Amino acid sequence: MSRQICLILLGPPGAGKGTQAEILVEEKGFLHISSGELFRRNLENETELGKKAGQYIDAGELVPDEITISMVENRIREIDSGTDFILDGFPRTLVQAKALKEILADYDPDVDEVVLYLHVPYSELIERLTGRLTCRAHGHVFHKKYNPPQEQGVCDYDGSELYQREDDQLETVKNRVDVYMEKTEPLIAYYRERGILLQVDAGQDVEGVASEIESKLEKKQW
């Protein structure tokens, strides 16, 4: 029997993590866990967690590790044994990455941790993020130019409204990319040293990235 997989999608905001996660959900049956989506649900429902996280998200800063780690840990503990899952947007700091290793060891020591690093030239990110359209109900993503919905303003998957995320405005986007470079980029070396990093050229179109991911995942021996 193949082992349960925890697939970490690593890459800057706008690299295409959410987009590729949706494809992996459709085609391979992965469960998709996005830390950003978990925060947005909490914000919408005005929970205590949402209130604590809101100010950081609006400013394009990272939510403190302690809050983020416990939120994701609780979600991981709910996953049925044997279900392959994707972590999208977590971990984003070395503290989170080390905490995740312990959480997984505690959840099930046999889970395979694999990291897909989506590499994109920085010049592409601003246009991808400022043109992003997000679905109100489930966070499905589209792009005004690169991946428009069939009907303007409406999600192809569930018919809900598409909106522009507050933190996808130009000024916040620039800060999010700076924060990524300072806090998250060191994870590339961390995972490379652990021998579990697969790098993908995410500067291609959506289908090109998806097929490179598929072939890299197939070649990896679990």
Angle between helix 65-77 and 94-107 (nearest 10):
20
Is 17 catalytic? The answer is yes
Give SS3 for 160: coil
d(CA 3, CA 79): 15
Residue 42 CB, nearest approach to ligand AMP (Å) = 10
Q: Is there a catalytic annotation at residue 92?
A: yes
**Binding mask of the shown chain, residues 113 to 152, with x at each position contacting ligand ADP by CB under 6 A:** ---------------xx-xx--------xxx--xx-----
Dist CA 3 CA 109 (whole Å): 10
Asked if 89 touches ligand AMP (CB under 6 A), the answer is yes
| C-alpha span between 28 and 134 (Å, rounded) | 23
Question: Which parts of 146-175 interact with ligand AMP (CB under 6 A)?
Answer: 167
Buried b (16+ CB within 10 A) or exposed e, 18-42: bbbbbbbeeeeebbbbbbbbbbbeb
Which of residues 61 and 81 has its CB atom nearest to ligand AMP in the complex? 61
- Of the candidate residues 115, 197, 209, 213, the single one contacting ligand ADP (CB under 6 A): 209
Task: Mark whether 165 is an active-site residue.
Answer: yes
Footprint of ligand ADP on this chain (CB under 6 A)?
11, 13-19, 128-129, 131-132, 141-143, 146-147, 204-206, 209
Q: Which residues are catalytic?
A: 17, 92, 132, 165, 176
